[in-house]
A and B are shown apart, each in its own frame.
Chain A
């Protein structure tokens, strides 16, 4: 195994860490924000970050080394076996839209809560006790 191949293998490992690792890190950060932050808007932002992480993970799973986008533009009609997996991309399209819908709904709830309580601090909101 000559040094060029070694560099290539090291590069691939790095890419793997980069994409998967960053996605998992985003999920981690988002979950942490959702579970521990006190300000409502921060919680919603955490939710958004979590969605971004999951979507990134999906797309990362679909990638195939050295393959290209799954679009059969003129000149690429026969390139079907050099194409990336299109299914996760389609799933992510749906997931992004759904994530957006939930975030919008969450924000509207935050607005409602703020209007009534004049505060956005989650600890002062616990009127629904045991």
Chain B
């Protein structure tokens, strides 16, 4: 009880401190400034995204190009989380016997016909939506991460509906590693050819074309594939409790 009161007190103090500090950052205030003569980073990005990079979605331009290094770190975080997950949940034959093998394998009940049919119809549509989202990341809201998550949701649907639905683990690992490597190699190409890591190629096409923005859509496609395979792997590891036969 005492602990709860102490925690509540601490949290109220933190909350009030946070609230007060936002007095200095009123909601809706224009902190971007003049776009033509940029003084803030945001104005700079808003100016150069259509002019230099010819990318319609400026958030994509920031994520993939201006602050591409952060995205590299983020992709790494996902990769490491998947690796860590696999290492924590790794089961050897001895563990299985020691725990009596009484843990459930995915879903026990057989799904109804309605769900099974619906899932079969929806799955390719979901995949298509996901691919559309990450291919058009530089033109419409969305991008690699969003598209990848959508595709993983499709796989989750299949995992839940069908007891025996399995993804080929080998293909997933290959796709994951290759897309990650592709991202790094594209960055290295920028380093070797233009002098700084992840620098974009000079030709960036026309604004709002499908092929515009130079390397941006290409990078996002690789990120999309990587995220999709990685999330599916994570789901597979979490849901599957049988030891994997290599």
Main secondary structure on B side of the interface with A: helix
Kindly state the separation between the CA atoms of A97 and B145 in the bound complex, as whole angstroms. Answer: 8
Say yes or no for B71: interface residue by CB 8 A criterion: yes
Chain B positions near chain A (C-beta within 8 angstroms): 3-4, 7-8, 11, 14-15, 18-19, 22, 25-32, 34-36, 41-42, 45-47, 49-50, 56-59, 62-63, 67, 70-71, 73-74, 77-78, 80-81, 84-85, 88-89, 99, 103, 139-141, 143, 145, 207-208, 234, 237-238
Say yes or no for A125: interface residue by CB 8 A criterion: no
Contact B46 A108 (CB under 8 A): no
CB under 8 Å from chain B, chain A span 1-50 = 12, 15-16, 19-21, 24-25, 27-28, 31-32, 35-36
Q: Which of B29, B59, B73, B74 contacts A70 (CB 8 A)?
A: B59
How many interface residues does chain A have, given as a range?
A: 35 or more
Contact B234 A12 (CB under 8 A): no
Specify which chain B residues have a CB less than 8 angstroms from the CB of A65 in the assembled complex: 28-30
Specify which chain A residues have a CB less than 8 angstroms from the CB of B30 in the assembled complex: 64-65, 67
Contact A61 B25 (CB under 8 A): yes
Given A115-B99, A115-B103: A71 and B58 within 8 A (CB)?
yes
Kindly state the separation between the CA atoms of A31 and B37 in the bound complex, as whole angstroms. Answer: 42
Say yes or no for A102: interface residue by CB 8 A criterion: yes
Kindly state the separation between the CA atoms of A63 and B4 in the bound complex, as whole angstroms. Answer: 35
Say yes or no for A105: interface residue by CB 8 A criterion: yes
Given A63-B27, A90-B67: A70 and B46 within 8 A (CB)?
yes
Contact A16 B62 (CB under 8 A): no
CB distance from B52 to the nearest CB of A (A): 13
CB distance from A76 to the nearest CB of B (A): 9
Kindly state the separation between the CA atoms of A73 and B77 in the bound complex, as whole angstroms. Answer: 32
- With A80-B35, A93-B63, A105-B88 already in contact, 18 other A-B pairs whose C-beta atoms are closer than 8 Å: A15-B28, A24-B15, A28-B11, A65-B30, A70-B46, A70-B49, A70-B59, A71-B57, A71-B141, A73-B56, A81-B35, A81-B36, A85-B42, A86-B59, A94-B71, A97-B145, A102-B81, A108-B89
Can you offer 22 A-B residue contacts whose CB atoms are under 8 A? A12-B28, A20-B19, A20-B22, A24-B15, A27-B18, A35-B7, A64-B29, A65-B28, A71-B57, A71-B141, A81-B34, A86-B46, A86-B58, A86-B59, A91-B70, A93-B63, A101-B81, A102-B81, A104-B234, A104-B238, A105-B85, A112-B88
